[in-house]
C-alpha cells in the first residue's frame, strides 16, 4: 500500500485555488483560465446536442475516425496519433512511462505546472532550467541534458509567459542533444501565434524521430469542459503509451465535439484574429500604464511586478470589480499575474478598472 504521508504531494492539505472558486460565480469575468471567450464552434455544439442520448453509452476505445481526421490534418498516419482526456493526460502518460534506471526529465523553470507535478507524483528526477527574460533558454537546457535525460518538455508558446522560441533555435537545440532524448513540443496555444518564426513542428517531426507534438482542444477549439487533446509521435512511442494506460480515456461527447470542431476552421481563424487584435490592444494599454507586460503569442498576457505587494494591488483591484485573473504561485513566481484575453467588452472593463484604481 502506498503511504501518502511520505509523498510530498500529500503532506500539506491544499485548499481549492481561489480563482477557480470565484470564476464559476455567475457575475465574475473569467480572465484566469486561458479559455476561448467565444466558446466552441456552433458545429461542435450542434453535434453534441444531436448525440446527447449517447451519453449513456461507453465511448469508442479506438477513436479511429478522429485519429484519421487528425492524421490527415497533420500529414501523418493514424498510428502516430494518441488521443486522451486532455493533452495534460498525455503528459501524465509520458512521465509515468519513464524508465526506472535513474533517468531524468528537464523542464524550464517557469512553465506549465503539469510537467513538474507529474514528476513529483511519479517520483521522477526533474531538472529545472532558469529562464532568460521570461523566455525558454534552449542553450541552457541543452547544457543540462546528459545520457540519462529521457524527456524534455517545451511549452511553445510558453504558458504562462507567452514567449516562443523560433524554428532555427529548436533545430540548433535538437542537433545538440541525444536522439534518444524525447523532446515534447507542447503546442496547446499554437493557433494563436502570429510570429512567422514559430517552429514548423511537422517538418521537425519528419526530420527528428525523437519529437513528440502535443495539441489541445481546450484552447482555441473551446472544448475545455469536455477534456480532449492529442499527441503525435512515432508508432513505437504511441504503442508504449497505449499499453500503459486505462481504456475509455475520451468520453463519447468529447469525441463527437472534436470531430465537428475540426470541420469549422472558420471558427478557429476568427477566434485567432480577434485574439491577436485584443492582445495587441491590451499589451499597448497595460504597457502604457507602466506595467511590465511580456510580449505574448498566446491568448494571455504575463505581467511581472517588482514586489508581491504590487502584484496584489492589481489582483485585488480587479477582484473587487468581479474580474478574476491568475496568480502565478503555482508556476513558481509570486510577483506575477497572467491575464487571459476576454471578449472586447471584458477587456475594456478590465482596463477601465485599472485606470480608475
> Which pLDDT tens digit goes with each residue over 203-214?
999 999 999 999
Residues 130 and 243 in one domain: yes
Residues 250 and 233 in one domain: yes
C-alpha cell at 298: 498566446
Contact predicate 297/163, CB 8 Å: yes
pLDDT above 90: percentage of residues in the chain: 91
pLDDT over 50 (residue 11): no
Which of the four pLDDT bands, split at 50, 70 and 90, describes residue 357? low
pLDDT in tens, 222-234: 999 999 999 999 9
Of residues 89, 111, 157, the one with CA closest to residue 299: 157
- Give per-residue pLDDT as tens, 43-102: 999 999 999 999 999 999 999 999 999 999 999 999 999 999 999 999 999 999 999 899
pLDDT value at residue 3: 44
Which domain covers residue 307, as residue numbers? 14-34+265-355
| Shared domain check, 145 and 107 | yes
Residue 292 lies in a domain: yes
Residue 6 lies in a domain: no
139 and 253: one domain?
yes
Indicate which CATH number applies to the domain containing 331. Answer: 3.90.1150.10
CA 156 from centroid of its chain's CA atoms: 9
Please, what is the end-to-end C-alpha distance for the chain in angstroms?
54
Q: Are strands 292-294 and 300-304 parallel, antiparallel or unpaired?
A: antiparallel
Looking at the structure, tell me whether residues 288 and 172 fall in a common domain: no
> How many domains would you assign to the chain?
2
- The residues with which 185 forms a beta bridge, in sequence order, are 154, 213
Give yes or no: residues 76 and 222 share one domain: yes
Query: Are 135 and 281 within one domain?
Result: no
Quick one: three-class SS letters along 62-88?
A: CCHHHHHHHHHHHCCCHHHEEEECCHH
Instruction: Write the CATH number for 88.
Output: 3.40.640.10
Number of C-beta neighbours around residue 141 at 10 A: 23
- For residue 178, tell me if it sits in a domain: yes
Q: Are residues 30 and 46 in the same domain?
A: no
Domain finish residue from 261, 278, 293: 261
pLDDT per residue as tens digits for the range 267-325: 999 999 999 999 999 999 999 999 999 999 999 999 999 999 999 999 999 999 999 99
Tell me the whole-structure pTM to 2 decimals.
0.93
- What are the phi and psi torsion angles at 162 (to 5°)? 80, 0
Q: Is residue 72 part of a domain?
A: yes
Confidence of residue 150 (pLDDT cuts 50, 70, 90): very high
pLDDT value for 21: 58
Q: For residue 8, is it within any domain? A: no
Amino acid at each position: 500500500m502506498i503511504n501518502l504521508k511520505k509523498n510530498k504531494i500529500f503532506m500539506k492539505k491544499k485548499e481549492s485555488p481561489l480563482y477557480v472558486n470565484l470564476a464559476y460565480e455567475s457575475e465574475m469575468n473569467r480572465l484566469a483560465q486561458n479559455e476561448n471567450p467565444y466558446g466552441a464552434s456552433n458545429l461542435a455544439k450542434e453535434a453534441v446536442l444531436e448525440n446527447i442520448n449517447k451519453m449513456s453509452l461507453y465511448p469508442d476505445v479506438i477513436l479511429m475516425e478522429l485519429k484519421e481526421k487528425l492524421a490527415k490534418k497533420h500529414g501523418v498516419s493514424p498510428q502516430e496519433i494518441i488521443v486522451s482526456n486532455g493533452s495534460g493526460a498525455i503528459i501524465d502518460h509520458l512521465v509515468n512511462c519513464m524508465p526506472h534506471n535513474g533517468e531524468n526529465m528537464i523542464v524550464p523553470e517557469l512553465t506549465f505546472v503539469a510537467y513538474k507535478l507529474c514528476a513529483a507524483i511519479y517520483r521522477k528526477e526533474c531538472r529545472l532550467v532558469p529562464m532568460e527574460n521570461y523566455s525558454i533558454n534552449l542553450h541552457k537546457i541543452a547544457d543540462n541534458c546528459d545520457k540519462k535525460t529521457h524527456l524534455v518538455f517545451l511549452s511553445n508558446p510558453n504558458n504562462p509567459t507567452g514567449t516562443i522560441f523560433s524554428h532555427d533555435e529548436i533545430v540548433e537545440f535538437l542537433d545538440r542533444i541525444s536522439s534518444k532524448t524525447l523532446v515534447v513540443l507542447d503546442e496547446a496555444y499554437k493557433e494563436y501565434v502570429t510570429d512567422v518564426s514559430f517552429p514548423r513542428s511537422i517538418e521537425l517531426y519528419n526530420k527528428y524521430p525523437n519529437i513528440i507534438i502535443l495539441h489541445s482542444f481546450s484552447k482555441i477549439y473551446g472544448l475545455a469542459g469536455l477534456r480532449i487533446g492529442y499527441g503525435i509521435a512515432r508508432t513505437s512511442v504511441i504503442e508504449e503509451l497505449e499499453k500503459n494506460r486505462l481504456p475509455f480515456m475520451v468520453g463519447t461527447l468529447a469525441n463527437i465535439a472534436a470531430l465537428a470542431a475540426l470541420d469549422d476552421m472558420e471558427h478557429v481563424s476568427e477566434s485567432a484574429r480577434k485574439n491577436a487584435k485584443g492582445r495587441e490592444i491590451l499589451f499597448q494599454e497595460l504597457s502604457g500604464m507602466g506595467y511590465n507586460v511580456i510580449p505574448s503569442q498566446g491568448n494571455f498576457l504575463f505581467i511581472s511586478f517588482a514586489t508581491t505587494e504590487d502584484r496584489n494591488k492589481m489582483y485585488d483591484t480587479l477582484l473587487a470589480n468581479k474580474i478574476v485573473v491568475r496568480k502565478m504561485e503555482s508556476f513558481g513566481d509570486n510577483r506575477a499575474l497572467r491575464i487571459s484575453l476576454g471578449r472586447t467588452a471584458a477587456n475594456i472593463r478590465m482596463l477601465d478598472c485599472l485606470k480608475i484604481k
